[in-house]
Amino acid sequence: MTSLSSIASVRIRSLLCAACAALLLIASAAAQDTRPAILIVGDSVSAGYGLARGQGWVDLLARKLDAGGYAYRVVNASISGDTTAGGRARLPALLAQHQPAVVVIELGGNDALRGGKLASTRDNLDAMVKASQAAGARVLLVGMDMPSNYGPAYVREFRNLYTDVAKSRRVPLVASFFDGFGEDLTRFQSDRIHPTAEAQPLLLDNVWPKLAALLQRK
């Protein structure tokens, strides 16, 4: 007569086998996703800092692509606190791994907030665009604005560095990621730096026209 413990053991093994099979199927599906990649290389704003999973503008972008008939997968390689130097250092490996069709570069804000040299920020962004183009990717550069309390000269120089890189490398530019709501504190979390969940569609709206021009439908 089969004991209850034996029956329980068989059932546990069966459940574990089923779980392993499910995980293998998920991994296999991910490995077989041959759609061209849109690689997002950004900082905390694109990493979804302070937001629940699935609320960030990059998540909204992935859903918009699927709904609109665009056959792309989105790879979000954004890291909170990242700088242009950090992005430049890790970009070669990302390009080799994902072989993206499109690279969206959203970096530079932390450089300015930390008092970095803007000439270095410009050089890093230029190098990232150049490397992405050399890898065969189309590039979208996303600019940031500094708060007005940084002084008009600094704010202007910071904005112009994005324009300079975009013109030099002939890539489209989103002049200001926070365009249309940057002065509205209700759109930001308590730190006054990171947009709220309600502001994420606005970020996507600012990026989408320039990004869509680089994409092909199914």
The residues near 184 (Cβ < 8 Å, ≥ 6 apart) are: none
Query: Are 97 and 172 in the same domain?
Result: yes
Q: Quote the DSSP letter at residue 185.
A: G
pLDDT at 179: 96
Report pLDDT for 27. Answer: 43
Residue 85 and residue 108 in one domain: yes
Tell me the pairing of strands 37-42 and 173-174. unpaired
For 179, the domain range is: 35-212
Task: Please list the ranges in the chain whose pLDDT falls under 50.
Answer: 1-5, 7-8, 10, 12, 15-16, 19-20, 22-23, 25-30
- What pLDDT score was predicted for residue 148? 83
Domain co-membership, 130 together with 171: yes
Residues 60 and 166 in one domain: yes
- Same domain (yes/no): 114, 193: yes
pTM for this prediction: 0.85
1 and 103: one domain?
no
H or E stretch including 152? helix 152-169
In this prediction, residue 25 carries a pLDDT of 47
Claim to verify: residue 62 and residue 107 sit in the same structural domain = yes
> Encoding tokens for residue 154?
């600094």
- With a CB cutoff of 8 Å and minimum separation 6, the contacts of 121 are 84, 108, 111, 112, 161
Report pLDDT digits (tens) over 80-122.
Answer: 999 999 999 999 999 999 999 999 999 999 999 998 899 999 9
* Alpha-carbon gap, residue 199 to 56, rounded angstroms: 9
Backbone angles phi and psi of 75, in degrees to 5? -110, 110
Tell me if 104 is assigned to some domain. yes
Same domain, 10 and 74: no
Q: What is the pLDDT of residue 217?
A: 79
Would residue 139 count as lying in a domain? yes
Give the model's pLDDT for residue 147.
Answer: 83
Are 9 and 115 in the same domain?
A: no
List residues with catalytic annotation: 44, 191, 194
218: in domain: no
Instruction: Domain count for the chain, please give it.
Output: 2
Residues with Cβ within 8 Å of 93's Cβ and at least 6 positions away in sequence, in order, are none
* Pair 134, 199 in one domain: yes
Q: What is the pLDDT of residue 29?
A: 46
Predicted confidence (pLDDT) per residue in 120-135, tens digit: 999 999 999 999 999 9
Q: Residue 217 falls within a domain, yes or no?
A: no
Q: Are residues 41 and 93 in the same domain?
A: yes
